Amino acid sequence: MGIGSIIFVLWFCHRLKILDVEASPYMRMPRAIGYWFWLGGEVIKANMVVVRAALKATPDIEPAMTRVKTTCKSDLAKVTFANSITLTPGTVTIDMEGDELIVHGLYAKDVAPGSFDEMDQRTAKAIDGKR
């Protein structure tokens, strides 16, 4: 019954013409899995920085905000990029305006121009399929 219901739903969605890249993300799954493993490593590295800052007797944080331009085209990729920044300890995405994100970080060097370029490129490749 499960296989039958899956086939029926897929047929029904096809007839309604609502199957698109964002509705059916399974073709992107191999690229996305690689991205999530990479992001996990980045989260672990950022955790170490935040833990060190929290354990210091005198805090040396330099909070800063910046605008980050993204090359992601789809809304799903932009949201994934913004959430990836927020998942990384010490940084948070505050707002998204078109192709720009406003990011706050504990350290100015962590939100300096170009510090999110690799994450942006990896997100665009994993979600939008850009190379």
CB 104 within 8 Å of CB 63: yes
Proportion of the chain above pLDDT 90, given as a percent: 53
Query: Out of 38-42, 56-60, 67-71, which region has the weakest mean confidence (pLDDT)?
Result: 56-60
CB 87 within 8 Å of CB 43: yes
- Whether 103 has a pLDDT exceeding 90, the answer reads yes
Residue pLDDT, tens place only, 21-51: 565 556 667 788 889 999 999 999 999 999 9
pTM above threshold 0.85: no
E strand segments, 1-131: 64-69, 91-97, 100-105
- Whether 122 has a pLDDT exceeding 70, the answer reads yes
Q: What tokens appear for 6 in the block?
A: 């899956």
- Confidence label for 58 from pLDDT (cuts 50, 70 and 90): confident
- In sequence order, the β-bridge partners of residue 101 are 68, 96
